[in-house]
Amino acid sequence: MPTRIILDTDTGVDDALAILLAMRSPELHVEAITAVSGNVHVDKCARNILLTLERLDLDAIPDVAKGEAAPLVKPPFIAGEVHGEDGIGGITGLLNPDGSRLYPDPADRLSPVSAVDLILDRIGMYPDEITLIAVGPLTNVARAIIKNPSRMRKLRQIVIMGGVFRVYGNVSPVAEFNIFVDPHAAQVVCDTGIPLIFVPLDVTMQAILTAERITQGAATGGPVAAFVRDCTAHYVDFHRQRRNVDGCFMHDPLAVAVAFRPDLVEMVDARVDVETAGDLTIGMTVADLRPGRLPPAGANARVCVDVNAEAFLTLFTERVLYR
Ligand code: RIB
Ligand code: CA
């Protein structure tokens, strides 16, 4: 029986790759994909979800709903330099030889329901069954918890691409983007008692899709692999220039994979909290992960501390690039 999931995203290039992996994994049934402001404004994220789904040429698509445009407390903070002004690697500006758009705007198939209400409704339909995979700032998730905490506690678990524990952050030395954008939302999530799995930079930065693998995939001629090549070009350039990596970090696709292949990672129980006030440390995820530490009082999460990156990359390549 496939695991029912809701995928909450700030689509984003790696979010788009995560959508492709989720849709091409028979272990998962994607109930809904929701958008939240993060990498770019939520309007662009919602468009990018639909544009990504159109590459799969599906008869039916999951419900897609637009969510929160701004964090709970902080002002919006975007990452246009990483994902492109359009949030999908600039491909909305690519043209065919005849001047037509290579990736035209998708059909408007957005749900009339807000992301928060769609999440709550779907959990009500399938209590104790749904895994929520959150790969953007946690604003939608926190708003749903605030609106109906008892309903949200009927989630099976929340898999969070977010946080950093034993390496440097990617927005500040101590903070990862998704948590940094909305630390208050992240703390709301940490306090709910819902089973949490953190998939932090500690493991996602080990999962590098190389430019070579992207090129090899595109050479197969498939439209999905061509889309991956096109939408990752800007993202890979960023990684080459700013991360000294000839490829790109697969943050969000790894979080999707963990939801159905937890064997790909090593996890430890922990109490995770989020700094919401520090001038230098806001957005920091704080946990004692030292080996031999006392069992964490009030453990609220499992944190991924290692990954079989090659096994994950093979899974992604086979399911997304070579089909
Ligand atoms: O820090 C990486 C995370 O922030 C990824 O989810 C990326 O898409 C951005 O949302
Ligand atoms: Ca993301």
The ligand 1 atom at the shortest distance from the C-alpha of residue 171 is 1
Taking the CA of 8 as reference, the closest ligand is 2
The CATH superfamily label for domain 3-321 reads Ribonucleoside hydrolase-like (3.90.245.10)
Question: Does 251 qualify as catalytic in the annotation?
Answer: yes
pLDDT along the chain (323 residues), means of 10: 97 98 98 98 98 94 98 92 96 97 96 98 98 98 98 98 98 98 98 97 98 95 94 97 96 98 97 96 96 81 98 97 87
pLDDT on residue 296: 74
Domain ranges of the chain: 3-321
- Residue 184 CA: distances (Å) to CA of 109, 130, 146, 191, 320: 31, 24, 12, 11, 35
- Cα 157 from Cα 119, distance rounded (Å): 13
Query: How far, in Å, is the centroid of ligand 2 from the Cα of 225?
Result: 20
Which of 14, 170, 206 best tests ligand 1's pocket when mutated (most atoms within 8 Å of CB)?
A: 14
Which of 7, 10, 34, 209 best tests ligand 1's pocket when mutated (most atoms within 8 Å of CB)?
A: 10
Global model pTM greater than 0.95: yes
Question: Which amino acid makes up residue 45?
Answer: C
